[in-house]
Chains A and B, each alone.
Chain A
């Protein structure tokens, strides 16, 4: 089976995103061939997830002052920065009507496997974390997202950190940190990693692109045929870019589900646990676990990643925390899972209270969605 391989670099955020969405729709309608895009954005752009509020996630003024474009992905998840050192991976395939492509979970597994096999070729021991991450020993290296187009076409999207300017990222994204110091940069560096860090080399992005392409050939047993967009595709992408991805209504749309934050501190004999969570309604969007207890950095990163985009139902939160403690026995150095469950549960409860107060306050930040993209 043949797939198209399209490689493009230095693309504008509006074009890159429009191309991914247009191809997903067209592939679902059998108007375009299944396509793997391996591309980079013009340095830099800040991309929020499908339903995030830009003002919550991005330091807009800093971006404007520094020529960093802001846009909104069709896929979900958190805000990211993209540029010449981050590889965008977009696979568009039909989602139904052809048994070859019918198994969604298998497809997500294969998509991740393509990336993992490519990384393995470089000696990077990456693994897929269900839903949205590929990680190396608990540290995030690749963010994943899935979008299902109205035609049924599926877009599997990944952003791979070949390298990352963490200080820049912290200036662009709103973070829980009150100030930006070496300590905060070190904290973030402990949660994420890059291909260059893992390989200990200045490997070129093109080399990474080649091994990732090989990974997909191996995982999906396909041939990749170097190609380009057709003129018909170009016209559709340009139309979508103009009507949607260059529109402020799309980029700056507001969601009706306000973010709410909660934190909790629990003292233990092994040290203080300080947990902060950000919630979207009943979903935990992000968790940050700090304090002065001693634990493996990877174990803490693993726990935070497990709680990202997690239901806040207490029994499920407890089950997830217990599972991580089970799999990382000894790495939390005397902190008991029950205490961590207590801290996270308290932080979630406080976020829920804050959420209720915002909803009850007519002058709070509850905003109905508007614009053309309901």
Chain B
């Protein structure tokens, strides 16, 4: 098994390089689903608690869209894009373990109506850039002690 398999990063969405949040554009609604990727989760451990901002609240790229407590620390969930929250996944709030179990499907966190998707998505990593980024992030996380 390769490191890319161990820390599965699907190629159908884009990723925040620093905070390991994913963003998946839905062309039907022009909205963006947001969650946390497996590398981000590996650095945190099992999630015990999650809070998310409410529907209707605005979020800004690089700022908090919620908070979490995991086995290794507490901290903020950082928005990968700016916009307004149009839906949130209450199942992840009442059962944070769902995020660890299914980070890309059932464990999505919020849906954001983006305010500047064109420019902000260009700052995320996606497509052909993913394999190199994943490999380098695995190395970085490992050298920094976030993952084994």
Contacts and interface: CB of A to CB of B under 8 A. Distances in A.
Given A281-B48, A374-B53, A147 B94 contact: no
Q: Which of B67, B69, B72, B94 has the most CB of A within 10 A?
A: B69
Interface stretch (B30-38, B74-82, B113-121, B125-133): B74-82
Contacts of A311: 46, 71
Interface of B: 18, 43, 46, 48-49, 51-54, 57, 62-64, 66-67, 69, 71-76, 78, 90, 93-97, 143-146
A359 B90 CA distance: 13
Contacts of A75: 73-74
Nearest to A311: B46
Contact of B145 (A49, A105, A368, A374): A105
Contacts of A285: 48
Interface in A114-161: 131, 145-150
Contact of B76 (A76, A103, A148): A148
A-B pairs with the 5 shortest C-beta distances? Answer: A105-B145, A51-B49, A148-B75, A146-B73, A282-B97
Contacts of B18: 96
B74 A76 contact: yes
Contacts of A102: 143-144
A373 B65 CA distance: 10
A257 interface: yes
A148 B51 contact: no
Nearest to B100: A282
The B interface, classified by DSSP as helix, strand, loop or mixed, is: mixed
B74 A147 contact: yes
A84 B77 CA distance: 35
Nearest to B57: A374
Contact-residue size bin, chain A (C-beta under 8 Å from the other chain): 35 or more
A106 interface: yes
The A interface, classified by DSSP as helix, strand, loop or mixed, is: loop
A94 interface: no
B76 A369 contact: no
Given A107-B145, A148-B76, A150-B64, 18 more contacts: A51-B49, A51-B69, A76-B48, A104-B144, A145-B73, A149-B75, A149-B76, A150-B78, A280-B48, A281-B96, A282-B95, A311-B71, A369-B51, A374-B52, A374-B53, A374-B54, A374-B57, A374-B67
A50 B69 contact: yes
Nearest to B62: A150
Nearest to B97: A282
